[in-house]
Amino acid sequence: MSRVLVIGCGGVAGVAIHKICQVSEVFTELMIASRTVSKCDKLKEELEGKTKTKIETAKVDADNVEELIALIEGYKPDVVLNVALPYQDLTIMDACLACKVPYVDTANYECENTDDPEWRKIYEERCERLGFTAYFDYSWQWAYREKFEEAGITALLGTGFDPGVTSVFTAYAKKHYFDEIHTIDILDCNGGDHGYPFATNFNPEINLREVSAPGSYWENGKWIETEPMAIKREYNFEGVGMKDMYLLHHEEIEALAANIPNVKRIRFFMTFGQSYLTHMKCLENVGMLSTTPIEFEGREIVPIQFLKALLPDPASLGPRTVGKTNIGCIFTGIKDGKEKTLYIYNVCDHQECYKEVGSQAISYTTGVPAMIGTMLVANGLWSKPGVFTTDEFDPDPYMEALNKYGLPWKIDENPVLVD
């Protein structure tokens, strides 16, 4: 019996909200609040009459802590789910702290204006100290640990699929299958086809910033950074077939490196077709991925934000995307003195997701875990004061919920390994 406040009403939020409304025995009341309130109202209209969850909507600027506090104080939620953008993580955490309400998100903090000299100074010092150059990292949110502990509330970070489920798979492998995990390869394969020459499956700005950045992986206690897309492998994915995949930096590597004892190597690979990479390189070469504002006909515009306005809205890809995703983790390590390998993965069908909630599988595979994490925090199963990632709780109720709410997983104890 809880009241949940969802902030943001884009592709991922749409799925999380549909799922929240399917679990009305837990989520009795829901407030959808976002920058464009008409999107919240439209979703409310669509869901009302199909759910017992009582839905309200509100307009909020999630960059503004005072506005967020007023919203939270007025609605009095038991938990806040942030599915706006990573830019808003810290303001929403600040508001949750001020109101002593648990906080949940799906992606770690990223600064919107990477030219901000104050942010840049901290960022450059962090690049030097840790050895990777991604714009996002956990240090900003881990800095809230003591504050959340003192306030006696939980912050659950990164409960999407990757990060999120991939770290729960790791905690599950560690609990049930290994005495020691030595290597983790996280494989994210999207075999979907939306028929457009170029589109991103989630927020284009966040997606393109991530994919065009240098790659990196964790090995023997330190980060190894590579040129963007420098490491390529092929893998034969169940439900999809043979795909090229490329090593990227990814946020769960940072948390798993800190939390999995004796892990020797953690890598993350994502599949891309040649056409996607060619489009992206071309856009990058002409400056369209830049986050630095330029003056155009008397107006300031940010190139990547202008590009976002031109590209298809990821939330609109649902009806036209066919094919499957296959995301999971391959582990190697030791059990009872013997070498062991294990692959835990989920295969998800774009059209099945569309039939159920009107979205493609990328939003679905993120929105379902967002609901599950929020539910576990709300019902007290994943509740302890402080700031945590999904590998830091008992994985069993989460794994059960994945099977129950649309993302069943499989185990292969003899997988093909990635060299």
Give the binding site for ligand NDP (CB under 6 A).
8-13, 34-36, 39, 60-63, 83-86, 88, 106-107, 158, 160-164, 202-203, 206, 314-315, 366
The residue among 201 and 216 lying less far from ligand NDP, judged by its C-beta, is 201
The residue among 83 and 378 lying less far from ligand NDP, judged by its C-beta, is 83
The residue among 185 and 332 lying less far from ligand NDP, judged by its C-beta, is 185
Pairing of strands 409-412, 338-349: antiparallel
3-state secondary structure of 178: coil
Do 206 and 226 touch, CB atoms closer than 8 A? no
The backbone torsions φ and ψ at residue 402, rounded to the nearest 5 degrees and listed phi first, read -60, -45
The residue among 106 and 141 lying less far from ligand NDP, judged by its C-beta, is 106
The residue among 188 and 349 lying less far from ligand NDP, judged by its C-beta, is 188
**Least distance from C-beta 355 to ligand NDP, angstroms?**
20
**Least distance from C-beta 201 to ligand NDP, angstroms?**
8
Q: How far apart are CA 111 and CA 120, in angstroms?
A: 9
**Least distance from C-beta 267 to ligand NDP, angstroms?**
17
**Least distance from C-beta 82 to ligand NDP, angstroms?**
8
Sign of CA dihedral 362, 366, 372, 374: negative
Q: Which residue has the tokens 């994985």?
A: 395
User: Strand (E) positions, 163-264?
Assistant: 180-190, 215-219, 222-226, 232-237, 241-247
**Least distance from C-beta 414 to ligand NDP, angstroms?**
27
**Least distance from C-beta 80 to ligand NDP, angstroms?**
12
Residues whose CB falls within 8 Å of the CB of residue 110, separated by 6 or more in sequence, listed in order? 85, 86, 87, 89, 135, 136, 206, 209
62: left (phi over 0), alpha (psi -120 to 50) or beta: alpha
* Residue, CB closest to ligand NDP: 10
What tokens does 419 get?
A: 């060299």
Q: How far apart are CA 115 and CA 199, in angstroms?
A: 26
The backbone torsions φ and ψ at residue 62, rounded to the nearest 5 degrees and listed phi first, read -75, 0
**Least distance from C-beta 74 to ligand NDP, angstroms?**
16
Q: Which residue has the tokens 């709300």?
A: 378
The residue among 151 and 344 lying less far from ligand NDP, judged by its C-beta, is 344
The residue among 27 and 202 lying less far from ligand NDP, judged by its C-beta, is 202
CA angle at residue 187 from 389 to 9, to 5 degrees?
Answer: 55
The residue among 326 and 366 lying less far from ligand NDP, judged by its C-beta, is 366
**Least distance from C-beta 1 to ligand NDP, angstroms?**
27
